Amino acid sequence: MRDNMKPCQHTLSDDVVYKEVVVIGNGPSGMVTSFMLAGNIPHLKRVPDHLPIDEMLKIRLQNLPPGQNLLEVDLMALAEGLEGRSQNPIALLVDNLLRPCADLGMQEDSLIEWRYDVEKEIDHVVLGKGPPGGAWHTFPGGVRTLSPGAWLSLPPHAGVGDKSTGRVPARAVAAYCRRYVQACKLQRYFRCGVTVTSVTRAPRAPPPCHQSCPRAANFWVSGYDKSKGCGFRYACRRVIIACGAGDRPNVLPAHISRHAIHSLDQVERALHLLATTEGDSPEKSVLVVGSGVSAADAVRLARLAALPVSHVHRTPADSLAKLSPVAYPDYCHVYKMMLDGPSGNHPYYTPYPEHMIVEINPVAREEASLKLKQEEDEILQPKRVKLLNLVTNETLEITVCLIAILIGSKPDLFFLQTNFSLNEIDVQKECIKCIEKKEESQRLCFLKSHWNNLKNVLEQGIQSCKSRYLNYNEINGNTDTKCLVTNCNKRKISEGNLDIDSDNTSAVKCKCTNTNTNIIPYECVKKIDCDCQPVNPYSSGLGFGMDPNKPVDGRSNPIAIDKSTHEILNAPKGMYALGPVTADNFIRFIPGGAVAIVAHLHKEMKNAE
């Protein structure tokens, strides 16, 4: 590959850098992909006869010569018949090779040997919002992982927990990710502190003079470098989506969510402030909404801080029910408290099963007995919360200081939404009660929020941002509305624009009064006066999931990929995805996706020679 990366006489403009591959996301998915793109090739070791792995897999492996380059074999044929906790066959195959018999509780040596080959290196860049490790840097440091430490290491070596069978703190995983990039000498490929704003098709150009000529670029990847305060653009032949699946927390309607927080790191900071606030008031309590692992973590953190916690939940999630009491005593204790219900009599814990929040009203400062410091966040001000019992239809009211809504999350795939036709996606249109102003007013509202941040740093990218694909009135759809307005979902799409029903001829009312916004596109949550759609649904990746009419979800609706190559099915050729966005939510299965992608890249580049 390296011979094909020689420079040619064709160049790009000064603001565009050419790379063969751009990887979006610098968490474990992006890290292990970079390791393989850097020229580290998996080779098969000799398979011991006594190893109790899948018998058919053992026969297939033993028919291969020791030292076989795994990127040059039929991976799907090797993976045939394998079963496990991934729906991607090559992920299961590579996991069986990296951690033989792991599900049997055995700690066998890896069947893969990694060899560096400079000729196999593929020029690439890895883009991430924070330091290497992605979301692992956002979790409270003391929260322990679900997987044991031995399952959290990336090839070619251990490091998180070595061969530990116990769970490790999130801070240990974050530290391991930092060390991994340095130990594998990948620093030159990583560009951190950046936000990708769009992935667009590259303009047509004359034929390239050779494989790595900049004229061969298929995509332009644009974004904003927060550390340098400027924009950037890469031209590339292929794009790999490795951005994880937790950037956008699921939220309740805006009149509730505006009073709450939605991440565990925010919960930890807020609990610390509450615990250190002077005074002991009945208002000094916490309300947690959710029935999964994150909600259980919030309940545990609140009880450890000796703060009363009210827990609003539906049926306890399967993710808690399936956990072993021996390995996960902390989560199983919360699960038991949820099952015990109001009769459980657990200290600092009051459950409200089968309840939902109806209304939240902040307590006036002069009425509140708990006096917070002036500099403390408004989110900690006392609130009266009205709850509805879904079984008896009765309501009750409680007073709390902190509300944490932890009901899952989805990936933020907004940057992909310029790559397909809006006319092919069934997107719901704006809510009637939000519609007051004309289309031009809304376009100006979008530009007011983002133009000043983009106009001086993205140059050519501005034209793309102004295109109809990024026009806010075209993408402010509502695919899962709870709006009470009649016919809220009766909308249709016409050529280039969304038409409004004949009984209404105006556009969305948008009150964007705060111009001091972040560069992250369409982060207009606090400015849109619409109770039925608090966030822009086009960040949900509509069109790319297994069900293209539903938002992408790492568990229920992952990105649709070719299982043999991890190419995205509903995207232009040359776009790949791996990791949580393809339903591989455990680190142990991520290397398989990287092997599938890199193997396909090598084969295509070899065929192009």
Write the CB contacts of 498 (distance below 8 Å, at least 6 apart in sequence): 427, 429, 430, 473, 474, 477, 491, 492
Write down the pLDDT at residue 321.
87
Lowest mean pLDDT segment, chosen from 210-219, 330-339, 407-416, 470-479: 470-479
- Do strands 40-44 and 355-362 pair parallel, antiparallel, or not at all (unpaired)? unpaired
pLDDT at 514 over 80: no
Lowest mean pLDDT segment, chosen from 174-188, 252-266, 312-326: 312-326
**163-179 mean pLDDT:** 86
End-to-end C-alpha distance for the chain, whole angstroms: 9
d(CA 462, CA 457): 9
187 C-beta neighbours (distance < 10 Å), count? 10
Contact criterion met (CB below 8 Å) for 127 and 225: no
391 C-beta neighbours (distance < 10 Å), count? 9
Write down the pLDDT at residue 72.
94
Contact criterion met (CB below 8 Å) for 207 and 215: yes
Q: Between the CA of residue 256 and those of 150, 237, 358, 377, 521, what are the distances in Å?
A: 41, 44, 8, 17, 23
567: which DSSP letter?
Answer: B
pTM of the model: 0.78
Lowest mean pLDDT segment, chosen from 77-86, 133-142, 293-302, 438-447: 438-447
498: which DSSP letter?
Answer: E
Q: Between the CA of residue 74 and those of 80, 554, 564, 595, 596, what are the distances in Å?
A: 10, 27, 9, 12, 10
Write down the pLDDT at residue 164.
60
Task: Give per-residue burial for 469-502: e unless 16+ CB within 10 Å, then b.
Answer: bbbbbbbbbbbebebeeeebbebebeeeebebee
d(CA 274, CA 263): 17
Return the closest-CA partner of residue 488 out of 428, 426, 551, 423.
428
Higher-confidence residue: 531 or 121? 121
Tokens of residue 158, six digits: 């251990």
Q: Which conformational region is residue 574 in: left (phi greater than 0), alpha (psi within -120 to 50 degrees), or beta?
A: left
User: Three-state SS across 189-216?
Assistant: HEEECEEEEEEEECCCCCCCCCCCCHHH
Lowest mean pLDDT segment, chosen from 6-15, 137-146, 228-237: 6-15
Cis peptide, bond prior to residue 208, ω within 30 of zero = no
**507-519 mean pLDDT:** 34
Write down the pLDDT at residue 203.
78
Write down the pLDDT at residue 603.
94
> Which residue, chain included where needed, has tokens 């290491």?
153
**Cβ burial, residue 141 (10 Å; 0-12/13-18/19+):** middle
Write the CB contacts of 547 (distance below 8 Å, at least 6 apart in sequence): 557
pLDDT at 522 over 90: no
d(CA 26, CA 23): 8
Write down the pLDDT at residue 189.
97
Digit-coded pLDDT (tens) for 540-595: 788 899 998 888 998 889 999 999 999 999 888 999 999 999 999 999 999 999 99
- Do strands 575-577 and 230-241 pair parallel, antiparallel, or not at all (unpaired)? parallel
CATH numbers and ranges of domains, the chain:
2-245+586-608 (3.50.50), 251-407 (3.50.50.60), 427-477+485-535 (no CATH)
CA atoms within 13 A on the CB side of 601: 30
Q: What percentage of the chain has pLDDT greater than the value 70?
A: 71
d(CA 127, CA 234): 11
Write down the pLDDT at residue 212.
62
CA atoms within 13 A on the CB side of 527: 20
CA 406, 412, 417, 420 torsion-angle sign: negative
Digit-coded pLDDT (tens) for 392-418: 999 999 999 999 999 999 998 988 865
Contact criterion met (CB below 8 Å) for 227 and 244: no
Contact criterion met (CB below 8 Å) for 17 and 127: no
Contact criterion met (CB below 8 Å) for 232 and 220: no
Report the DSSP beta bridge partners of residue 198: 222
Indicate the helix (H) or strand (E) that contains 232.
strand 230-241
d(CA 389, CA 30): 44
Write down the pLDDT at residue 8.
60
Task: Give per-residue burial for 427-443: e unless 16+ CB within 10 Å, then b.
Answer: bbbbbbbbbebebeebb
pLDDT at 283 over 90: no
Return the closest-CA partner of residue 584 out of 140, 105, 127, 147.
147
Digit-coded pLDDT (tens) for 490-509: 333 333 332 323 333 333 33
d(CA 498, CA 480): 17
527 C-beta neighbours (distance < 10 Å), count? 17
Digit-coded pLDDT (tens) for 100-153: 988 887 888 899 999 999 999 999 999 999 999 999 998 988 899 999 888 899
Higher-confidence residue: 113 or 457? 113
**Cβ burial, residue 386 (10 Å; 0-12/13-18/19+):** middle
pLDDT at 424 over 50: no
d(CA 211, CA 451): 37
DSSP calls for 54-85: -HHHHHHHHTSPTT-BGGGS-HHHHHTT--SS
Write down the pLDDT at residue 450.
44
3-state secondary structure at position 92: helix
